[in-house]
Structure 1
Amino acid sequence: MAKTPFFDGHNDFLLRLLRAPENREALWLEEWQEGHLDLPRMQKAGFAGGFFAIYIPSPEEPGAPDYQAMMDAPPYDLPLPQLMSADETQATALQMAAHLMWMERTSKGALKICRSTADLNACMQTGTIAAIMHMEGAEAIGPDLDALYAFHAMGLRSLGPVWSRPTVFGHGVPFRFPGDPDTGPGLTDAGKQLVKACNELKIMIDLSHLNEKGFDDVARLSDAPLVATHSNAHAVTPSTRNLTDRQLSMIRESGGMVGLNYATVFLREDGRKATDCGWDPVMRHLDHLIEKLGEDHVGFGSDFDGAELPDVIGDVTGVQALIGQMHERQYGEALIEKIARKNWIALLERTWGV
């Protein structure tokens, strides 16, 4: 069966490059047996494009518990890292934006950073990988928002006000299981100004890590579709990171979108990190999202290079196996193409304009 091209809502490949500067050329241009992404595997897999996240990791805390082990033994409630300032994060964010520009240059035409709907459609027509510069947590922007305009000029077209730690703009959900996303206050005054500025610049706002009150604030303030690039269904897995049916209804009504997250901790009903879960939890979430959102508002949001994935997916080359599962379950070719690629393209057209 021919490969179905697919578009992906979230990856952390830029963080992988950041952590291995001495090896970045090989990590990008050569095929690896570790990690989830590199250019040869993306091309082999049918990766048509996706959101590449600028994410600033928190400083390591001496003596901190093994959070990864805790997430494989629910219940858990991980403490949130402290807020980080623009002064602490801006240089790293700039470095990661530069990494994406370097990827474009060294790909020799295989990848293009898309700044407009025209760029996106041209990539889909030519088979060029369409890269969207995304910021996961807006620490590097700062409350005066000046840096937002600078990053927009570099190509930033998608932004999440928070990762899970708090920012000057709002509050993220902690990693807690079981739990729900109602975990704290909503957007700050600076956060409300950030939403307004993103709307003016046509920067997509990502709700994936935002808590429930912040989600509601964005829904009230924003004139753009509501989007969660890499989130799942709380009704299936009661993690704070997953979306309630009420939130899914609001996203549907706005003409928005949810990208199915492959992270096992957000897929498994028991909240564990273990990767031997098979297809059932993946398909339960996908079915629930389609039921609540409708077939025009669901896509993929892998969390490649940022999470533990089910063994049946493994890395980017396993997405075609997921598409194969959709065929086996009689989703129909038209629905499969929507979920794989067309819904994301239509969402970005609605957000950015034509």
Structure 2
Amino acid sequence: MADIDVFDGHNDAVQFIAEYSPSGRDFLLRSETGHLDLSRAREGGLIGGLFALHAAPERPPENDLIITADGYEVMYAETVDPLYARQQIEAERLALESLIRRSGGQMRMAIDVDEIRAARAEGAFAAVLHMEGAEAVDREFDYLHALHAAGLRSLGPVWSRPNIFGYGVPFAFPRSPDTGPGLTDLGKQLVRTCNGLGIMIDLAHLNEKGFWDVAALSDAPLVATHACAHAICPSTRNLTDRQLDAIRDTDGVIGFNLSVNDIRADGHLIDDTPLDTVVRHIDYLINRVGEDRVALGSDFDGAVIPRGIKDASGLPHLFEAMRKSGFDRQTLSKFAFDNWLRVFGLTWKNSTSA
């Protein structure tokens, strides 16, 4: 299944590119490190994706992983300082822009559906700007407007920690995603502002109360760029059936996360997870929300993914496993490409609907 074009709903590659990190890798050269570079993307049929900007904590906590009797809990630092976050986000954004310029046309920044389609037709790789956690955004939203003008088209209000906009869901298993308060009043204003600008709201990493706050406020389809089903794997990061139904009912999309500890029923961080297990999880999601509302949200360079895929070059192995399990060509194409463009067309301003 190497002839399927793929658009990916989430990757963390920007934090590892040479333009951002002096010890990082050259995205334009093939590497065996991490999951994603331009060569491996082409080998896997990947023609574009949402590139996440993310502010890491200044001082990561020590002993952040707690093993419990039946699972795990991960402790993270408190809210990142907004000025520090903005410095990181700007450095990452400028690094991605520098990479795209250096690519000599092999990569493009895309801000609407037409530009993604044009890049695909002309053999260029389309990068769409996403931000994972809004710590860098000021209370007046001036920086949000600046980011939108620079190409930002997708925003997760929180990562898995609290900020002035809401409460991220902590990493834990087995546990409900209902872990605390939802959006703050400022977070609700952020949703309305993003709706007005045509910035897609990403529900990944937001706790359940925050999810329902967005659902009550937003006039756009509900989207989680990288998550799985809580009914199969009871991780806090995964979505309950009721949440999945809300995504279905707004004609939104769930990006299927390739992180093994959110796919496996036992929540174990084991890369030797069979592709049959992966496909059964995808099948559950499609049966729940429909074939038009599940897409790929790999979390490349941000997760442990199944060994049978390994990296972006191995995506055809996933599609072949899906084909063997009974998925037809149309469903595969929707999962790989069409569903993202459809929801972008419904969400982004001045975009041609897919």
TM-score > 0.5, shorter chain as reference: yes
CA distance in 1, matches of 2:60, 2:205: 22
Spell out, residue by residue over 1:220-257, the C-alpha distance to the aligned partner (whole angstroms, 9 max, x if none): 10000100000000000000000000000000110100
Cα shift at 1:118: 2.1
Cα shift at 1:80: 3.4
2:237 to 236, 241, 246: 241
Cα shift at 1:15: 1.2
SS in 2 for 1:291: helix
Cα shift at 1:21: 2.6
Give yes or no for contact 1:6–1:340 (8 Å, CA) kept in 2.
yes
Give yes or no for contact 1:269–1:281 (8 Å, CA) kept in 2.
no
2:217 to 216, 221, 226: 221
Q: What is the RMSD computed on CA atoms of the aligned residues?
A: 1.7
- In the other structure, the counterpart of 1:309 is 305
Matched, 1:284 2:280: yes
Q: Which runs of 5+ in 1 are unaligned?
A: none
User: How many residue pairs are counted as aligned between the two chains?
Assistant: 350
SS in 2 for 1:9: strand
- In the other structure, the counterpart of 2:7 is 7
Moved more, 252-261 or 42-51: 42-51
Q: 1:2 to 1:80 in 2, by over 3 A?
A: closer
Cα shift at 1:324: 0.5
2:200 to 183, 198, 204: 204
Matched, 1:33 2:29: no
- In the other structure, the counterpart of 2:63 is 65
Matched, 1:101 2:100: no
- In the other structure, the counterpart of 1:141 is 137
SS in 1 for 2:304: coil
Query: Letter of the aligned partner of 1:288 in structure 2?
Result: Y
CA distance in 2, matches of 1:341, 1:71: 38
Give yes or no for contact 2:204–2:224 (8 Å, CA) kept in 1.
yes
1:340 to 323, 336, 339: 336
Matched, 1:114 2:114: no
- In the other structure, the counterpart of 2:347 is 351
TM-score (norm 1): 0.95
Q: Of Structure 1 and Structure 2, which has the larger fraction of its residues in helix?
A: 1
Cα shift at 1:20: 6.4
Give yes or no for contact 1:169–1:194 (8 Å, CA) kept in 2.
yes
CA distance in 1, matches of 2:342, 2:226: 17
Cα shift at 1:142: 1.9
Percent same amino acid among aligned pairs? 45
- In the other structure, the counterpart of 1:179 is 175
- In the other structure, the counterpart of 2:21 is 21
CA distance in 2, matches of 1:72, 1:158: 35
CA distance in 1, matches of 2:52, 2:148: 14
Give yes or no for contact 2:182–2:213 (8 Å, CA) kept in 1.
yes
